Amino acid sequence: MTFRVGLLGHGTVGAAFHELLDERAPAIEAAVGQRPEVTGVLTRSRGDFDDIVARSDLVVELIGGVEPARDYILRAIEAGRHVVTANKAVLSQHGEEIYDAARRARVQLRFEAAVGGVVPVIRVIHETLAAAHVERVHGIVNGTTNFILSEMTRTGASYEDALAEAQALGYAEADPTEDVSGRDAAAKMAIIARLAFGAPIQLDDVPYEGIERLTSDDIAYAKELGLSLKLIGTAERLDGGISVRVYPAFLYGAHPLASVVGSFNAVTIESTAITEITLSGPGAGGPQTASAVLGDVISAMIPPPTLPAPAVSEPLATDVVSAFYLHLEVADRPGVLAQIAEILGLQEVSVKSVVQRGMGDDARLEMVLHPVLESRFKAAVDLIARLEFMRSEPRFVRVIEEIFEETP
């Protein structure tokens, strides 16, 4: 028996998927009882959408971008076809509309390839969800930025040089904005948070900071403290609601994400019942994405539908608690540290460690601060920035602590 697959898009991923499906079809038939076959392909120059839908049981959307992908996905669903997509843009911006349509039409919608490269984040969150209450997901979900930060750490290269190297190796695009700004990671975290918490979170709800302004100096100082720098996406339940955000952060060495280097992706899922699970693997390339898409196709061949439940509105948190690394350049004279400490203390920011280094008439203070409401920390930094002995703008990076100590 044939399971008919309509394929929208035939670029790098589409072609790799088509080839992989043909290669694995006999093994899949042996395992599942149906033989998947691509019965139609739509590209800019060939194929007719309605005709492809009519001759398929499932539609794979690999066009990318919002339109016409959104329109095609909705029309395929309304025609009663299962849909597999790798499209993070459309899901992070029009997810509710698409999930609702799939739920009404009782078709399957699967999107493992939209998030996390090879790492089966969506499956594991979906399956973990029913048995355990997910409290937090931390993710390195953009391979380009992780490669750049790894190179800056490893070689001491500047951001610009590491970016140029990533571009030369094909890890970064000619216009790297989507990746280095944190926007790509924000879209992925919106999809993850929607699934983990059931709240209708979209890309617009996710504040993001990128890696463009990080310097190799910051990395070098932090390395001495045993910290490593990553672009982290966080989705967590807080007392005040749900928070989803993307930001550069220093991780302590024992954090499971600290050792994830190069263009790898990784996600840590935390829950009281399971404590934590970490998943890691190479970020998306053509063959890896194709493999994730095929995995979704095979799952869709086996009923029943697994869909996100209808969304429940939950408030978004307006303030979150973070630990910080704070770097200040100040005139080297008595009383400076005392004034800074007083301002921090008034805002209830408590100091975990401080290193002072002389630089001629000036001095550099490198502080690690205990977790505090970000609004309070930023109020303190604003006050510190106005002190007359400051020699440059304060610089800060969030710090993520170990989930568990290495030993009890």
Nearer to a copy of itself, 78 or 314 (CB): 314
> Which of 66-74, 102-110, 269-277, 317-325 is the region at the interface with a copy of itself (rule: CB under 8 A)?
269-277
Backbone angles phi, psi at 287, to 5 degrees: -65, -40
Q: Which residue has the tokens 């194709």?
A: 290
Q: What angle do CA 204, 206, 210 make, to 5 degrees?
A: 110
Quick one: which of 220, 309, 355, 385 contacts a copy of itself (CB under 8 A)? 309
Pairing of strands 264-271, 275-282: antiparallel
Alpha helix stretches (DSSP H) within 198-285: 216-224
Min dist. Cβ of residue 133 to a copy of itself (A)? 8
30 binds a copy of itself (CB under 8 A): yes
Q: Which residue has the tokens 């630990």?
A: 323
**CB < 8 Å & 24+ apart, contacts of 32-37:** 32/298, 32/301, 32/302, 33/1, 34/1, 34/2, 34/3, 34/301, 35/1, 35/2, 35/3, 36/2, 36/3, 36/5, 36/297, 36/298, 36/301, 37/2, 37/3, 37/4, 37/5
Say how far apart CA 41 and CA 43 lie, in whole Å.
Answer: 7
355 binds a copy of itself (CB under 8 A): no
Output Rg (C-alpha) for the chain, integer angstroms. Answer: 24
295 binds a copy of itself (CB under 8 A): yes
Say how far apart CA 42 and CA 61 lie, in whole Å.
Answer: 10
Quick one: which of 294, 363, 380, 400 contacts a copy of itself (CB under 8 A)? 294
302 binds a copy of itself (CB under 8 A): yes
Quick one: which of 15, 79, 132, 365 contacts a copy of itself (CB under 8 A)? 132
Nearer to a copy of itself, 146 or 322 (CB): 146
Say how far apart CA 116 and CA 184 lie, in whole Å.
Answer: 11
Q: First CA to last CA across the chain, in angstroms?
A: 56
Min dist. Cβ of residue 325 to a copy of itself (A)? 22
Task: Identify the three-state secondary structure at position 301.
Answer: helix
Quick one: which of 67, 97, 127, 173 contacts a copy of itself (CB under 8 A)? 127
339 binds a copy of itself (CB under 8 A): no
Encoded amino acid at 118, one letter: V
Quick one: which of 57, 135, 151, 179 contacts a copy of itself (CB under 8 A)? 151
Q: Are 231 and 199 in contact (CB under 8 A)?
A: no
Pairing of strands 362-373, 351-359: antiparallel
Min dist. Cβ of residue 221 to a copy of itself (A)? 22
Instruction: List the catalytic residue out of 188, 223, 230, 378.
Output: 188
Q: Which residue has the tokens 């049981």?
A: 57
**Tokens matching residue 70:** 């959104």
Quick one: which of 5, 7, 13, 28 contacts a copy of itself (CB under 8 A)? 28
Quick one: which of 118, 244, 246, 330 contacts a copy of itself (CB under 8 A)? 118
Catalytic status, residue 188: yes
Say how far apart CA 372 and CA 160 lie, in whole Å.
Answer: 32
404 binds a copy of itself (CB under 8 A): yes
Quick one: which of 87, 108, 146, 150 contacts a copy of itself (CB under 8 A)? 150
Scanning residues 370 to 389, which ones bind a copy of itself (CB under 8 A)? none
164 binds a copy of itself (CB under 8 A): no
Nearer to a copy of itself, 79 or 277 (CB): 277
95 binds a copy of itself (CB under 8 A): no
Min dist. Cβ of residue 229 to a copy of itself (A)? 15
Q: What angle do CA 80, 83, 85 make, to 5 degrees?
A: 160
84 binds a copy of itself (CB under 8 A): no
Q: Are 403 and 270 in contact (CB under 8 A)?
A: yes
Nearer to a copy of itself, 54 or 124 (CB): 124
156 binds a copy of itself (CB under 8 A): no
Q: Are 143 and 171 in contact (CB under 8 A)?
A: yes
Quick one: which of 105, 191, 201, 279 contacts a copy of itself (CB under 8 A)? 279
Q: Are 259 and 161 in contact (CB under 8 A)?
A: no
Q: Which contiguous run of DSSP H or E holds residue 227?
A: strand 227-238
Nearer to a copy of itself, 79 or 164 (CB): 164
Quick one: which of 105, 119, 344, 384 contacts a copy of itself (CB under 8 A)? 119
**Tokens matching residue 50:** 């309605």
Residues of the shown chain interacting with a copy of itself in the complex, contacts defined by CB under 8 A: 20, 24, 27-28, 30-32, 118-120, 123-124, 127-133, 147, 150-151, 154, 169, 254, 256, 258-259, 261-262, 273-282, 287-288, 290-292, 294-295, 298-299, 302-304, 309, 404, 406-408
Write out the catalytic residue numbers: 188
